[in-house]
Amino acid sequence: MASAATCGLILLGNSGVGKSFLANRLLDDDGAFESKFSVRSVTRHTEWKDMSGAIGKHIYSVANIPGLVEANQKLIDENRIEIMKAFEQCPFAIVLFVFGSNNGRIRGEDLVAFMRINDAYVFSAKSLILIINGIPSNRPPDYEEKTTELLQELTDIKKTHIYFIEKATSEKSKNDIHNLLYEVIEKCEPTYHKRKHDIELLADEISRLKKESEHRQDQLLAQQHEHEKQEKFNVPSGSTLDLHQPSAQQLFTTIIKPKSDIIDDNKQFDEMMKTMEAEHNRNMERLKRSQQNRNTDEWKHLTDQLKIECDLSKELLEQMSSTPQVIVVREEQRDNVFQKAVNAVSGLFFRDEHRSCKSKHSKNLRHDNSEDNFHSSASRSLNPHHRNPTNN
């Protein structure tokens, strides 16, 4: 039982994660608690050992407590009673929860144990330390960073309270662990731990809870991987690409080609544009002339010519080896533009024909045989010297 003059250092975690080893490092005594790798070394009852010196302002008593998750309900019930008893004996304490690792992954049973104990006590952040113990020395360089982010998401504990300890291989490494633990504990403050309710865990639900925690871990790892891919290609983390409705930037495709090919394409494009401009000017002159003589065949021929011109432009663009840096109008938009042009020309023509028919009808009523008495509004607008025949 803890001394009344001390604060508690309560080490929690499942069997086999190295609680007894870390407790011995705190006490700087390899024989304080049995920590050999064997079935007999499993802690079944809470053990207390007082530290010889203070850490910061406090002198601590170290509690080595059984793990929570076991294979059968009887052992689970015994262990949860031991854990609750330790907090009753020394409620003013700092909690060190120890996680093991399985090929670099956080073990599902360790997450289950932490969640159930934390749910019963709601540990204060200022008196809680999470330790991932026994990590290999040949781990990836970003292992600590990624695992810290993962554990922070899984436990909602700030990363400043998460620490990693390598597997001890020498007396020097043991001493390094001792110094690290002292440094970490000195940053914390003991708090009173009051139980909200009993620790609850059923053996039948352990398998399901482990799978849920492992599934959640897989989801977070997948999100980390996706985030790394986005950073690699300089894509903002919150953005998504809409494959069905492309943005304005997605309408353009950049293709890296040899410089000589780009020069040839630009030259071909310039020549094509000159040809199209000359053809356009010729068609505009023909349009003006056709408006004056109102020849039906001429209108039809001009309409056909405009369609041929548009089809030629499309064919030339498709024959180019690369698309130049110009604004590309979608096919449906091009068709709409062409249709509007045809409608405008047709409307002008049929309006002119309608007025011509009306003029002929009026002339028949008045028995007037002059063909130049009436002109369309379009002809009048293009001929400033025209005067109303009634004023002649």
Domain ranges of the chain: 7-230, 263-391
Q: What is the mean pLDDT of residues 254-266?
A: 49
Q: Are 123 and 95 in contact (CB under 8 A)?
A: yes
Between 345 and 88, where is the model more confident?
A: 88
Most confident of 33-37, 102-106, 168-172, 312-316: 168-172
Identify the band that residue 73 occupies on the pLDDT scale cut at 50, 70 and 90. very high
Identify the band that residue 232 occupies on the pLDDT scale cut at 50, 70 and 90. confident
0.85 cut: is pTM over it? no
Is the per-residue pLDDT at 330 higher than 80? no
Q: What is the C-alpha to C-alpha distance for residues 33 and 170, in angstroms, rounded to an integer?
A: 19
Identify the band that residue 296 occupies on the pLDDT scale cut at 50, 70 and 90. low
Average pLDDT, the chain: 75
Q: What is the C-alpha to C-alpha distance for residues 190 and 123, in angstroms, rounded to an integer?
A: 11
Q: Any idea what DSSP says for residue 321?
A: S
Fold annotation for 7-230: Rossmann fold (3.40.50)
Identify the band that residue 136 occupies on the pLDDT scale cut at 50, 70 and 90. confident
Q: What is the C-alpha to C-alpha distance for residues 263 and 257, in angstroms, rounded to an integer?
A: 10
Q: Does an H or E element contain 101, and which?
A: strand 101-102
pLDDT score for 97: 98
Q: To the nearest whole percent, how much of the chain has pLDDT over 70?
A: 62
Lowest mean pLDDT among 22-36, 38-52, 99-113: 38-52
pLDDT score for 345: 52
Between 237 and 306, where is the model more confident?
A: 306
Q: Are 89 and 82 in contact (CB under 8 A)?
A: no
CA torsion sign, 222 to 228 to 233 to 239? positive
Between 373 and 233, where is the model more confident?
A: 233
Q: Are 135 and 169 in contact (CB under 8 A)?
A: no
**Longest Cα–Cα distance in the chain:** 133
pLDDT score for 101: 85
Between 84 and 278, where is the model more confident?
A: 84
Q: What is the C-alpha to C-alpha distance for residues 11 and 96, in angstroms, rounded to an integer?
A: 5
Identify the band that residue 45 occupies on the pLDDT scale cut at 50, 70 and 90. confident
Between 175 and 224, where is the model more confident?
A: 175
